[in-house]
Amino acid sequence: MPASQCPREGSRAPAFSIRTGRGRISLDAFDNQIVLLAFLGEGLTSDASPEITARIRAELRGLGAVLVVVSSRGVLVFRPDDDVATIAGPGELVTSDVDAAHRAFGLRAATHRARALFLLDGERLVRFSHLWKEGKEAKDGDVVDLEDIGDALANAGRTLVRSPNRLLLSRRDLVLTTLTVSLAIAFVQGCDRRPIARPVSTEPRHDVPSEMDVMLDVNGKVGKVRIDVRTSLLDALRERMGLTGTKKGCDHGQCGACTVLVDGRRVTSCLMLAAAVDGSKITTIEGLANGNTLHPLQAAFIEEDALQCGYCTPGQIMSAVALIAEDRAKTDEEVREAMSGNICRCGAYSNIVAAIQRARRS
């Protein structure tokens, strides 16, 4: 079979379409992927070593291609990382379509066992072709084995490498290459920047002190405390004054576990700077009881079993003390709304509402 009958390299590949019992097979199913289209007459031999199979996969992976085999045994699809898939079996092929596909690529009809391999790029241009010899010069009779396929794929790869005008890039490779080059250019430009000379200020500097003394009136006791200017009221109470009844939960003002009273108003102490309450009257959970006599809300929480793990309880009680003092939430629904800033992860909300209502009545 003269090679001149086959499509020339760089030319548009002929249309490929074969009807089967399952539908029509065409190269459109592979979108812009590189396709190796093989016509193998009687098909492939089944006795292939794992080394040869691995070599086939490696060659396909290097080309970024999929191998489509058309033979009298059916149509097979060989992908780099998947099992060989049978698209159509021997009895499912329409013989006239198979013969037409052979003739379109310059080959003799399938009944004559013509054997060839074509590499078609994403635009379906022929980039490489390989014809196996026929007749007495053919290897192993009329059957091509996987080693023959591996040799042809290696030749295809070498041909593409040698030819600068045959560089093939998949869309994925093109995007990755473009992104890599762009990042490299940005990195080089960033390294080349010179620091901008800034004028030296002649104005006198006013250093801000990192620490300060504050007078904290906590639970009726006034004391001077030296703190970092960034210290929150919560940390000042727990770490500088040893009042650990106020709990640190989220440290973002979202759970209410750190609630204390500042001048009678409930606040989340994790969000308030200690320096901001200098001279204010602060009440924590430790300041509610009168000696051994519990505050009515503390007693009500015990009577109504309004706590489980107890971590949120100090904040719940302090918030409830202010709520009753505000005298604006009286129904259960109003209490739930007014206490919505205090979260109980154990879910004791109904008991908490009952405890607040019990304390209000007392």
φ, ψ for residue 65 (rounded to 5)? -125, 170
Give me the residue spans of the domains in the chain: 3-166, 211-361
Q: Do domains 3-166 and 211-361 have the same CATH topology?
A: no
Q: What CATH code is assigned to 211-361?
A: 3.10.20.30
3-166 carries CATH number 3.30.70.250: no
Q: Write down the pTM of the prediction.
A: 0.45
Report which of 102, 76, 83 is spatially closest to residue 20, judged by C-alpha positions.
76
- What is the chain's pLDDT, residue by residue, as a tens digit (362 residues)? 444 478 887 788 888 888 877 778 888 888 778 888 888 877 665 555 677 778 778 888 877 888 888 887 788 888 888 777 888 887 788 888 888 888 888 887 655 566 888 888 888 888 888 887 764 444 444 556 667 777 788 777 766 655 544 445 555 666 677 778 777 777 766 665 566 666 666 666 666 678 889 999 999 999 999 999 999 999 999 999 999 999 999 999 999 999 999 999 999 999 999 999 998 999 999 999 999 999 999 999 999 999 999 999 999 999 999 999 998 888 999 999 999 999 999 999 999 999 999 999 98
Cβ-Cβ contacts under 8 Å for 55 (sequence gap 6 or more): 150
**The tokens of 14 are what?**
């002929």
